Structure 1
Amino acid sequence: MVLSRRNFLSLAGISITTGVAAVSLKNYYTRVANGQTTETEKFGKLISDPNGILDLPKGWQYQVISQVGKSMSDGTSVPTSFDGMAAFPGENGQIILIRNHELSPHEFPGVIASKEHKYDHLSQGGTTTLIINKNRTLAQEFVSLAGTNRNCAGGATPWHSWISCEEEISTPQLNSQENPDNVSVKHGYNFEVSSQSKIAKPIALTAMGRFRHEAIAVDPSTGYIYQTEDQNDSCFYRFRPRQPGNLQAGGILEALVIEEMPSIDTSKNYPLNQPKSVKWVQIENVDPDDDTLRYEAQKKGAAIFKRGEGICLAKGEFYFTCTSGGNAEKGQIFRYNPAKETISLFVESPGAEILDYPDNLTLAPFGDLIVCEDGAGEQFLIGVTPQGECYRLARNAYNNSEFAGVCFSPDGQTMFVNIYSPGLTLAIWADWPKVTGA
């Protein structure tokens, strides 16, 4: 049979709720093959957009608030490659968006800033900040971080800053005319960007580790920061700052170990919804010369995840995606519980028609996870219910570029998302339900 993308990942008779034993993946796939499925269109079918940009459920609206190449308030042009993003409260009801630009040294249009405001004058990546009015129109737009390398995702902090993550550790090697001072600058770090100020001189947060960073999420109760890594053999990390809220003061970097499965590769034949106890091992060499940090972690028993990407906090638990993990190699979503110190596989895609390369994700006001796809062909925003059921929420009708940077305004009334290339930022709204405590 041909599976609809609206099919649940929880098939008829399969519960993925915490505390209920999950059916084995083998049995699960057997049920799929036998057509034992249920379907959902939680918000109704997607309506074709006459403007050819974004298909949404009936009654949902959107508008483009930023586009690559447009002139910004600081006189520079909007860079390309829109990636991770977060929303913060501004003055008088305004919304502040900070947006990553995942650019390598030879990619243009890049993030433009004066040399004193760039971490590395050879690099094109960074962030831009958007000030959005109450009516969802753009008030200001300007560069807020420059000179970094492939800023992929990141995450918001409780103290209203954005941690922008470099997904590349290589040092730009350009010719002597482009680099007359023969400067060699290391990359592969996190950078903090204030939501309340304009561009400042970037400072690499070296204590958080040098690796192919993807995204972060902060536990507000402890100040601990959880980090994902985009590698086929990545690890899952925890940073314990010496001074919560002051990341430049340093701290301790650790990697997650599944106690009964040391050094396990979680990408194949991993059991659904079976919480496993974890512990953390300390990383000694947090700033290696080469991309070897994960090897130290794995020698100490750290679990291996296939392309860790987006992460978010939802009801006291951290959900993170593994873009190409799973038996079908189409994606997994893991759930880490810091109170119980357990980890479990929450969702695994049986095929691209259900979920195709999950990337950035966030928690919606109506209690579901919203996941950006980064697969082949058509790209969707996928909703995932607390029971692990998947449904499509929006379709990129503009092109086949990935969705990225999905987030909600502080009041929960507006969803923002990027079409990665060539670069569009969209505001989406509807009369969606609210879940208390979500």
Structure 2
Amino acid sequence: MERRSFLRGAVVGTSAAAFGFTLWQGAASAAPAQPGAGPYGTLGAADANGIQLPAGFTSRVIARSGQKVGSTSYTWHNAPDGGACFTDGTGWIYVSNSEINPSGGAGAVRFDSSGAITGAYRILSNTRQNCAGGKTPWNTWLSCEEVSLGYVYEADPYGVNAAVQRPAMGRFKHEAAAADPVRRAVYLTEDETSGCLYRFLPTTWGNLSSGTLQVLVAGSGTSGSFSWANVPDPDGSPTATRNQVSGAKKFNGGEGCHYANDTVWFTTKGDNRLWELDLTSNTYSLAYDDSLVTGGSAPLTGVDNVTGAASGDLFVAEDGGNMEICVITPSDVVAPFLRITGQSGSEICGPAFSPDGRRLYFSSQRGTSGSSSGGITYEVTGPFRA
């Protein structure tokens, strides 16, 4: 396996926290990650919340579907899904989608500098099956509808401004979004078995009301070069956006998407893959594929949401599998970071780091009940490596 070269740089974009990342480069030449000893060691016994963690880490429950959040008057939504963190003075805010249809939307929890919950509120209402999304560099939340001809909504995590529908970003079965301030683009995944990867180029950076929707064009292989082509009819009717451009590359169930320093990572659940786009060389490759794991069983299956940490580690959540969040290191090692026990009928959603990188938030969408009304949102605190 060729080692990826490392580049130290500042993160700007849709990463869950704004801090420096050590990044993977040389996408076309690197081999997919393989199992090995993770940077945090083995998992311990399940704690009081049913979560197995490495030594030095602790968990707490932040919110439960159908119950008030902390001492606030806000009732947490069903089926919590994609999420992100935003700075808020000396504290921060965690935003979470609701993947129910109808009346999905999104909610938020506000924390002070010590991590205490100081507020909770709705930031988006009356939308459909809001699955994942992404954070913008101008501190708004892009909430994506995972339905046919779904929209992207731009919501205010601070709860001041009303959410706005963004039809110029295309109408299709949206999943996640990741913003790239260098190329002034927003990358969008599509949750279809023959879905595409898109990018939206706003007419004015910071204003998503108008712009150009493009689709990735490439060969049928798992690595190579790519280009972008304009989607003639972004509203997807009568012809679906994924079927409008000859040569558009098809991906099997697009899920999470993450950008940092000239690289985009996105997952496809239909084939348990993590893809890597090198935007400097316009090449793509596999960062992980469970069918290419050698020397034992794959530690990561049911790949779903993805985020990054200050170390350059990627954290990938499972939809099913062993109900784990796995870490993939810059040295191409994949290992479990945590495991939720007793919730085999659920999936892990919305991993996002607090702005200081010391806390990881995520949800079990259906909790112990296996129902969307049983969602649980967690926080894990510990010695995440810098």
State the TM-score, normalizing by the size of structure 1. 0.76
**2:151 alignment partner, one of 189, 192, 211:** 189
Q: Aligned equivalents of 2:353 and 2:147: distance in 1?
A: 27
The 3 A distance-change label for structure 1 pair 427 and 388 is same
Gaps of 5+ in 1: 1-13, 29-36, 106-123, 170-186, 326-330
- 1:302 deviates by 0.6
Residue of structure 1 equivalent to 2:86: 88
**1:257 alignment partner, one of 185, 193, 217:** 217
Q: Aligned equivalents of 2:236 and 2:353: distance in 1?
A: 36
- 1:134 deviates by 2.1
1:429 aligns with 2:375: no
Could you list the per-position Cα deviations for residues 123-169 of structure 1 after superposition, in whole angstroms to 9, with x for gaps in the alignment? Answer: x1000011012222211111110011010000000000100000013
The 3 A distance-change label for structure 1 pair 148 and 193 is same
- 1:61 deviates by 1.2
Q: How does 1:7-406 map to 2 (within 5 A)?
A: 14-15=1-2, 17=4, 18=26, 21=29, 39-71=36-68, 75-91=73-89, 93-105=90-102, 124-169=103-148, 188-198=150-160, 200=162, 202-248=163-209, 250-258=210-218, 261=219, 264=220, 270=222, 274=223, 276-289=224-237, 292-297=240-245, 300-325=246-271, 331-350=272-291, 353-376=298-321, 378-400=322-344, 401-406=346-351
Q: What residue identity is the alignment partner of 1:280?
A: W
Gaps of 5+ in 2: 5-25, 367-373
The 3 A distance-change label for structure 1 pair 69 and 290 is farther
8 A contact 1:74–1:143 mirrored in 2: no
Describe the SS at the equivalent of 1:354: coil
8 A contact 2:49–2:59 mirrored in 1: no
- 1:199 deviates by 6.2
CA RMSD of aligned residues (A): 2.2
Residue of structure 1 equivalent to 2:8: none
Q: Aligned equivalents of 2:152 and 2:191: distance in 1?
A: 14
Describe the SS at the equivalent of 2:168: helix
Residue of structure 1 equivalent to 2:7: none
- 1:417 deviates by 1.1
- 1:419 deviates by 1.1
8 A contact 1:211–1:291 mirrored in 2: no
Query: Paired residues, what number?
Result: 352
Describe the SS at the equivalent of 2:356: coil
Residue of structure 2 equivalent to 1:108: none
Please identify which structure carries the higher strand content: 2
The 3 A distance-change label for structure 1 pair 257 and 46 is same
Q: Aligned equivalents of 1:20 and 1:214: distance in 2?
A: 25
Q: Aligned equivalents of 1:291 and 1:257: distance in 2?
A: 18
The 3 A distance-change label for structure 1 pair 291 and 410 is farther
The 3 A distance-change label for structure 1 pair 164 and 38 is closer
Q: Aligned equivalents of 1:230 and 1:393: distance in 2?
A: 26
Q: Aligned equivalents of 1:132 and 1:366: distance in 2?
A: 24
8 A contact 1:15–1:387 mirrored in 2: no
The 3 A distance-change label for structure 1 pair 290 and 168 is farther
Q: What residue identity is the alignment partner of 2:332?
A: G
- 1:77 deviates by 2.2
The 3 A distance-change label for structure 1 pair 41 and 222 is closer
Q: Aligned equivalents of 1:20 and 1:216: distance in 2?
A: 23
**1:408 alignment partner, one of 338, 346, 353:** 353
**Is the radius of gyration larger for structure 1 or structure 2?**
1
The 3 A distance-change label for structure 1 pair 198 and 60 is same
Q: What residue identity is the alignment partner of 1:389?
A: V
Describe the SS at the equivalent of 2:36: coil
- 1:223 deviates by 2.0
Describe the SS at the equivalent of 1:47: coil
Q: What residue identity is the alignment partner of 1:346?
A: A
Higher relative contact order (CA closer than 8 Å, sequence separation 6+): 2
Q: Which moved more, 1:155-164 or 1:73-82?
A: 73-82
- 1:340 deviates by 1.8
State the TM-score, normalizing by the size of structure 2. 0.86
Percent identity at matched positions?
Answer: 30
Describe the SS at the equivalent of 1:57: coil
Could you list the per-position Cα deviations for residues 378-419 of structure 1 after superposition, in whole angstroms to 9, with x for gaps in the alignment? Answer: 210000012322100000124121111001111112111111
